[in-house]
Structure 1
Amino acid sequence: MTRDNDPQAALRVDLGNRSYDIDIAPGLIGQSRSYADAIRGERVLVVTNETVGPLYVGAVSAALAESHQVDTLVLPDGEQYKTLDTLEKIYDRLLEGSYGRDATIVALGGGVIGDIAGFAAASYQRGIDFVQVPTTLLAQVDSSVGGKTGVNHALGKNMIGAFHQPTRVLADVDVLETLPAREFAAGMAEVIKYGLIRDAAFFDWLEANMDAINARKPELLIEVIRRSCANKAEVVAADERESGQRALLNLGHTYGHALEAELGYGQWLHGEAVAAGMCMAADTARRLGWLDDAQCERIERVIVAANLPVAPPRELERARIRALMGRDKKVEAGTLRLVLMRDIGSAVVTSDYGDTLDATLTRYFDR
C-alpha cells in the first residue's frame, strides 16, 4: 500500500482512479517532493486560517513555488466560520483569479479548513483537485481522509457538502508540536473511536500507552496516525459514500453533533463532543445488554486518560438534544439509526434500540 520507491508513503486509499496516498512522517510539508504527482496544473491556491498560516504557510508555499504558481487565502479560525459565507470567500478568490479546472487547492489547517476548502474544490467548476495538509491530530487521523467535505448549517452540522477525494494527504507529525493541549486531546477522541468500533487490539494499545502518547513521543504519534488512518482507509475503500459500514465511523457523532449544535459551534471542540457522545452511546448499548458496566467504565477511563469529557453539560435541554439528533444524516424513513457497540472493537448501525435512547438522555440531562 505504498507508493513505489517513496519511503514517506505510509498508506494508500484504494478507490480505483480516485486512489491516493496518505504520507505520515516528520517534515513533509516543507518538501517539494511531498506534492509531486498530486498537483496536475500550474496554479495552486493554499487555503489556511489565521492561526495556522503564520506558522506553516511560508514553508508550504516555498515548497510548492519550486514547480507551481502559488497564491494564499487566509480565513478566520474556528468552527463558527464553517459556513456558506466563508465558502463564498474561496469562490471569490478563485473567480477573481480566473482559476481554471486544472487548478489545485491545498487545504492547510485542521478539520474546518479541510472540510470547507474540500467543498470549494468539489463544487468550483464542478470539481477541481485538492491536497489535504492537516495540521491537527483530529484532521490527520480522521477528517482529512475519506473525501467528506462540507459546511455547517444552524440546524445541523455538515448537512451541506459533497464527497470529493483529495489527491494526497500529508500528515506531518512535526506540526503536532505546536498544537494546543485541548486540540490534541480532541484528536484523540477520533483515535479512540477506531479501537471501539473495529480494532480492539488498538484500543488495548492506546490504554497501555496513553501517558506516552500525551507526551507526544514522535514514534508513538506516527503509530497513532498510521493505525487510525489504516482503519479509516479500509472502511472508505469498502464504502466510499457511506451506504453501509462507513456509518460505523460515526460512533458518538449523532449525540456529539447535537451537542455542538445546541452549545453553538466552537464552544466545544468536535472531539470533545464526540468523546461525550461515545460515552452516551456506551450507556445506550449497556441498557440493551450489549456492554456491561465494566466495559463502560473502561471506556470512560481511557477517555478521561486522554483528557476528554465523559458527559455533556447537564444544563442542556433533553428535548432539544433529542430533536437535533432527529436531524442526523443516518435518519432513514423518519427513523433515527444509531451506531452502538456490541463489544469493544465491534459496532453496528441499528434502529432497534427501543426506549434505551430516551433513558440515556434522561440520565445525562434530567434535572
Structure 2
Amino acid sequence: MSQKTLSSKKYRVNFDSSKYDILIGKDLLTSNLVEILSEKTKNRKILLVFDSFFKDKVSKNLAASLSKEGYDVYFYAMESGKHNKTISEAIKIYELLEISGFSRDSTIIALGGGVIGDLAGFVASTYHRGINLAHIPTTLTAMIDSSIGGKVAINFRKTINAIGNYYHPIVNIVDLDFIESLSQRDFKAGLAEIIKCSFICDKDFFSYLKANSAQILKRQEEVLFYIMCRTIEIKLEHVAGDVKEQAKRLKLNYGHTLGHAIEISTDTLQEVYRHGEGVSLGMVAAAHLAKQYLGSDETVLAAHEEILRQYGLPIRVETEKISFNRDDLIKDCVLNINKDKKKKDNKLRFVLPKEIGSCQVYDDIDEDFINKTFDYIIK
C-alpha cells in the first residue's frame, strides 16, 4: 500500500436519539477511543469482544493502552465465522458480563468483522436493556456496511439475522491499518458491498469503480479511502430518517434477498460463500429478475456481470466446484427465500434495478420469475 499520509474524516451521525461519530483514517485507534470513552461514561469496566485472529496483536496493545488509562478490561475472544453468530455464543458473553459485575453504563468494544460486531452489538443492546457499545471494525465489509446503521443480530437455525435489534454505538472507529490484515478473498468480498452502493444510486460512482479497479485491487490508499468514504456517505443517506427500514433504507438490501437464500442453502460446516460473495451472486440474480419482471435493458445485467467479474467476484453458483446437486440446491434456495425476514403482508420484497444507479422495491413478483432466476444463476 502507498505510504503517503492520509487525512482522516469524521461523520457526525444523528439517528433518532442517537448521536455519535464515525471516524475513518489511519492510526486512529487508541487516542480517539480513550478520549471518547472518557466523554461518554465514567464507568471504567470494558469488555473487549474480539476476533481471535488479533489475540497477539491489536487486542493486547489496545488493552494495555486502556489499562494504562485506568480502565478495567475484560476479554472475550471468538472465531469470526458466521456459524458463531448464535444465541449460545451470546449467552457466554452474558454470563461473563454478569459474573464480572458489568452495569448499564459499562462498555462493550466490538473489534472484528461483521460477525463480531453483530453479536457484540446484539448483546450490548439487550444486556440491562442496553449498555455502551463501541465499534472497531476490522474487515472492509464491516467498515463500510455492517457496523453502520444500527443493525445488530444473531442467526437462528437457518435464518440469517433472525433475532435482532436496532442499536447504535457511542463511536465507530474505522482504522484503515486493519485493511492490510485481510486476505484478498475477504477484501474482494467487502468490495461487493461498495459496488452495490453504486448500483443503487450513483452511476458516476459505478463508472469510477470500473475505471479504477486495478488501483483498488492493489489497495492503493488514496483510492481506497475515497471509495470507502463515498460508500459510508451513501449508507448514511439511506439510513437517515429510516433507521427501521420502512422505505429508503430497504434499497441497501440490494442483492441480499436472493443472496441470503444462496448463502443459507450452501451453508455447511465449511463456509462456501463469504457474505459479500453471496451479495455478488444476489445482485446478478436481481438484475436477471429485473430483466424478466421490469423488462430492463439487457445491458444492465451485462454491466453487473462485467464489473463483478472485473473484481474477481462470483457471478454464478458452480455446483460442481462446491459439490452440490444442482436441482436440490435450486429447491433449497426457493424454500429459503420464502423465509426472508423482509417479507411484508406475506409477500417477498425485492430491490430491482431499472438501470445502473437506480433501484426500486417491488413486492408482487411471480414465483415463476424467481425460479427462472435461480435456474440462471445456479449452474
With the shorter chain as reference, the TM-score category is: over 0.9
1:9 Cα deviation (Å)? 4.1
Query: Does residue 126 of the first structure (1) align with residue 129 of the second (2)?
Result: yes
In the alignment, the residues of structure 2 paired with residue 199 and residue 22 of structure 1 have an alpha-carbon distance, to the nearest angstrom, of 22
- Asked if 1:59 corresponds to 2:61, the answer is yes
Of 91, 94, 101, the match for 2:94: 91
Find the aligned partners of 1:346 and 1:103 in 2 and give their Cα distance.
Answer: 43
Is the Cα contact below 8 Å between 1:24 and 1:170 reproduced in 2?
yes
Q: Say which SS state the counterpart of residue 91 (structure 2) adopts.
A: helix
Q: Is the 8 A contact 2:45 2:102 kept in 1?
A: yes
* TM-score when normalising by structure 1: 0.93
Match of 2:335 in 1: 323
d(CA) in 1 for partners of 2:88, 2:266: 21
Q: Quote the offset at 1:323 in angstroms.
A: 1.3
1:263-319: per-residue Cα shift (whole Å, max 9, x none)? 116321100111011000010111134532222112111111221101223425222
1:100-249 paired onto structure 2 within 5 Å: 100-249=103-252
Q: Residues of 1 paired with 2:36 and 2:17: CA distance?
A: 14
Q: 2:169, 2:62 → 1: CA distance?
A: 17
Q: Distance in 1 between matches of 2:9 and 2:23?
A: 4
Structure-2 separation of matches of 1:107 and 1:147: 13
Q: Would the aligned equivalents of 1:290 and 1:343 in 2 still touch at CA under 8 Å?
A: no
| In structure 2, C-alpha distance between the alignment counterparts of 1:63 and 1:231, rounded to whole Å | 34
Aligned partners of 1:238 and 1:225: how far apart in 2? 22
Counterpart of 1:98 in 2: which secondary structure?
coil
Counterpart of 2:293 in structure 1 is 288
Partner of 2:20: 20
Q: What is residue 3 of structure 1 aligned with on the other side?
A: none
**2-side partners of 1:43 and 1:25: how far apart?**
27
Q: Does the 8 A contact of 1:173 with 1:221 survive in 2?
A: no
Equivalent position amino acid for 2:21 in 1: D
Which of 324, 333, 341 matches 2:345? 333
1:300 corresponds to: 305
* 8 A contact 1:197–1:346 mirrored in 2: yes
Question: For residues 116-140 of structure 1, what are the alpha-carbon distances to aligned partners after superposition, in whole Å with 9 as ceiling and x for unaligned?
Answer: 0000000001101101100000000
Map residues 6-85 of structure 1 onto 2, 5 A cutoff.
8-29=8-29, 31-38=30-37, 39-40=40-41, 41-65=43-67, 66-85=69-88
Question: How far 1:51 moved relative to its partner?
Answer: 1.3
CA distance in 2, matches of 1:261, 1:357: 16
- Structure 2: distance between partners of 1:223 and 1:114: 23
What's the % identity of the aligned pairs? 35
Query: C-alpha displacement at 1:67, in angstroms?
Result: 4.6
Relative to the length of structure 2, the TM-score reads 0.91
**Residue type of the partner of 1:259?**
I
Letter in 2 for 1:211: A
With over 3 angstroms needed to count, the CA separation of the structure-2 counterparts of 1:280 and 1:157, relative to structure 1, is: same
Report Cα offsets for 1:1-33 as digits up to 9, x if no partner: xxxxxx84421222143021111001112x223
Determine the C-alpha separation between the residues in 1 that align with 2:283 and 2:56. Answer: 35
User: Structure 2: which 5+ residue stretches go unaligned?
Assistant: 1-6, 320-325
CA distance, structure 2, for counterparts of residue 184 and residue 26 of structure 1: 17
User: Partner residue of 1:312?
Assistant: 317
Check whether the contact 1:280–1:311 (CA below 8 A) recurs between aligned residues.
no
SS of residue matched to 2:57: helix
Is the 1:273–1:312 contact (alpha carbons within 8 Å) kept by the matching residues of 2?
Answer: no
CA-to-partner distance for each residue in 1:75-94, whole Å, 9 max, x for gaps? 12311111111111111110
User: Does 2:352 align with 1:347?
Assistant: no
Aligned mates of 2:294, 2:243 — CA distance in 1: 31
Query: How far apart, in 1, do the equivalents of 2:221 and 2:121 lie?
Result: 28
Gaps of 5+ in 1: 1-6
For these two proteins, the number of residue pairs brought into alignment is: 359
Q: Is the 8 A contact 1:330 1:338 kept in 2?
A: no
C-alpha distance in 2 between matches for 1:143 and 1:233? 12
Q: 1:274 aligns with which of 274, 279, 285?
A: 279
Q: Which amino acid aligns with 1:190?
A: E
Change (3 A) 1:52 1:224: farther
Asked whether the equivalents of residues 8 and 26 of structure 2 are also in contact (C-alpha less than 8 Å), the reply is: no
What is the rounded CA distance, in whole Å, between the counterparts of 2:193 and 2:285 in structure 1? 15
Contact between 1:106 and 1:131, CA under 8 Å: does it hold in 2? yes
Question: Would you say the 8 A contact 1:277–1:311 is kept in 2?
Answer: no
TM-align CA RMSD: 1.6
